[in-house]
A = this chain, B = another copy of it.
Amino acid sequence: MRRATIGDVAARAGVSTATVSRVINGGVVSGATAAKVWAAVDGLGYSPNALTKSIFAGRASTIGVVIRDLSSPFYLDLIRGVDEVAAADGSLVMLGNTYRMHDREAAQVRAMDEQRVRGLIVTTGEAADPHARRMAENGTPCVIVSRTVPGMHSISLDNVAAGQLMAAHLTACGRSSVGVITAGDRPAQNERVEGLRRGMPGTVPASAENDAEAAAAVGALLASNPKLDAIACMSSRLTVAVHTALTASGLSIPDDVAFLTMDDFPWAAALGITVVVQPTYEMGRKAAELVVDPVDEPAAVVFEPALAVRTSCGEVSAPDREPADLSPRRTGHTE
């Protein structure tokens, strides 16, 4: 019942543990010995202990990923990018979900550190920063996603451009008065609003933390602004709630009000909802690459958003601006 160790294999094959290790990891061994060892491995069902390997290597071969909210399609695609690079590199991905709870963020990052992950990719709030910074100082490559943090690698979206993309499209569709729903006043959200404002000065913002607040915010926006002809949602998390509130209020999209939001999702095409998409998969790949091929100086990689035009903003009457470039643009280190 006890698990077979390298010692058991060595005893069964009649060799030393050093020889078994050499057979498994490819050192110089004779064919006859190798055959004996493999027979013993199969006979015992031996599987080498990766933990012990890692302790000797000083570091696990696992990449840690701490996600705020797995239910968001954004993170799903990000993970796919990370997975792809990790698989090509032979690393395992250890995923931790924090459900947007501050204490879990800190706990997950600490746990990843104790697991001696080879690198860490975090998409959390500030709660995780102090520990992540210590890890970075200890030589674990750490990448922050969706936020820029001085002195650490970061992967983010050009949020101002995202807002400008929305403004350009809404203007092209003949809209002039936009209500904006943001999820809290986090920097990324504010930058998106800032970008939208640059293109459309008559922007009315409202903030919501959850679905109920979002519905209320939509109602308030509509009530206080009779000439409102568009609603922009800055957080994919609130898309369903805002869209539901809009249709529930009896308005027709896009005839009465245009609607667009952040991040693509499986139903968007079917529902005809225009969205600003982030190159999420690429962002995940880049994050993992910063872990797999460590870079000394902190890199702040900014990606450009693109617009997936569907029908929820109506017809484009004026020519729209060129589609944005999806390739990453390195803007250099931050400090």
Docked complex: A78-94 residues within 8 A CB-CB of B: 79-80, 83, 87, 92-94
Closest-CB distance, A306 to chain B (whole angstroms): 21
A111, B87: Cβ atoms closer than 8 Å: no
B51, A139: Cβ atoms closer than 8 Å: no
Chain B, residue nearest A98 (CB)? B83
Closest-CB distance, A197 to chain B (whole angstroms): 29
0/1 interface trace, chain A 100-135, chain B, CB 8 Å (1 if under): 000010001011011110000000000000000010
Decide yes or no whether A317 CB sits under 8 A from chain B. Answer: no
Total interface residues on A, CB under 8 Å, equals: 50
A114, B79: Cβ atoms closer than 8 Å: no
Copies in the complex: 2
Decide yes or no whether A32 CB sits under 8 A from chain B. Answer: no
0/1 interface trace, chain A 44-73, chain B, CB 8 Å (1 if under): 010111111011001010100000001101
Q: A92 with B115: in contact, given A3-B139, A49-B55, A55-B55 (CB under 8 Å)?
A: yes
Chain B residues positioned under 8 Å from A243 (CB to CB):
270
A1, B139: Cβ atoms closer than 8 Å: yes
Given the complex of chains A and B, what is the CA–CA distance between A3 and B114 in angstroms?
Answer: 11
Decide yes or no whether A240 CB sits under 8 A from chain B. Answer: yes
Chain B residues positioned under 8 Å from A83 (CB to CB):
97, 99
